[in-house]
Amino acid sequence: MKNHNLYGIIIALIGVFLISPDTLLMIWGEMSAFQMVAWRGLLSGVTYLIIWFITRPKFITSDISVLFSKWGLIISGCYFINTTFFCIGIAIAPAPVVLFCIATAPVFAAILGQFILKEPSNKLTWIAISMVLIGISISIAGANTQKISFDINIIYGAICGLASAITIALSYVMVRQKKGLPFVLPMCSGVIFSGLFALVLTGFPNMMEGNILPIIITGLIIVPVPMYLLSYASRFTQATNVSLILLLESILGPLWIWLGTGDQPADLTIFGGFIVIISTGSYLLLSKQN
């Protein structure tokens, strides 16, 4: 592939488009937060195992040794923390607070990329990040129909959102750091442990509540396949680019909800989404990073 940066961006865009119906399926699932994480974590783990067996059938022993290396454990820990803390944050705090904190992922990707990979971000990158954060803020404000009153849970929710942002950014940076090492098995172990953790909190008798089919679809396909593609894309383009592209999901998601439930996005949500799309698109067209 002559242009690795463009190849990575295309793969990341495909991943984001595939993951964009996730929120709609979560709504259709009508499950509690930890119950949903239990299903999604365990089912995603199954899909990651299948991807691993298909893509690396001759390297099972060596891949297991990589899983228990420092690099593998960091990626595994990132996926455990990301999936678990996102769930906790949404459960205890207003969603806009958590979502805005998660939207800082490109900032952490830029900082971590500079320190770990020695890939400094230029002015264009920071302008794009700033504009995307503004667009996300406007979009979230438009979607928030409830007053947010300050309490200690908001602080805990913000911490959970920041933990999710940091770990997803770190996972992309780590995959890019050692492009030749297998990352699927560490991802698999992280989500499986998050699923088991949520299963313990939920209790097995409560697992069949709600609508199972939408969660099976999102657990087996909608979450793991795009997340695999996004991690794979970070081998070819900077983690900051992947993190910025991932934020398009927060704009495409409400459109799927509109189509699936008839819940039309507010004007501010559409305007904020327009800013995010234009800012991200302009940055990807103008960026010359490899």
Alpha carbon distance 186, 7 (integer Å): 24
| Per-residue three-class SS string for 89-139 | HHHHCCHHHHHHHHCCHHHHHHHHHHHHCCCCCCHHHHHHHHHHHHHHHHH
**72-81 pLDDT tens trace:** 999 999 999 9
Q: What is the DSSP string of 44-98?
A: HHHHHHHHHHHH-TT-HHHHHHHHTSHHHHHHHHHHHHHHHHHHHHHHHS-HHHH
CB 228 within 8 A of CB 44: no
pLDDT class of 1 with cuts at 50, 70, 90: very low
Give CA–CA dist 46/285, Å, rounded: 36
pLDDT in tens, 47-97: 999 999 998 888 888 989 999 999 999 999 999 999 888 888 877 777 677
Q: Are 232 and 11 in contact (CB under 8 A)?
A: yes
- Each residue of 178-212: pLDDT tens digit? 888 899 999 999 999 999 999 999 998 899 998 99
How is residue 204 annotated by DSSP? G
What's the number of CA atoms in the CB half-sphere (13 Å) around residue 28?
A: 19
**Closest listed residue to residue 161, CA positions, set 227, 80, 242, 85:** 85
Residue 16 CB neighbours (<10 A): 23
For the chain, which residues make up each domain, given as ranges?
A: 4-286
**What letter does residue 241 receive in the DSSP assignment?**
H
Quote the pTM value: 0.87
Residues 6 or more apart in contact with residue 231 via CB below 8 angstroms: 171, 172, 175, 183, 187
Q: Is the sign of the CA dihedral 286, 253, 147, 266 positive or negative?
A: positive
* Residue 1 vs residue 177, higher pLDDT: 177
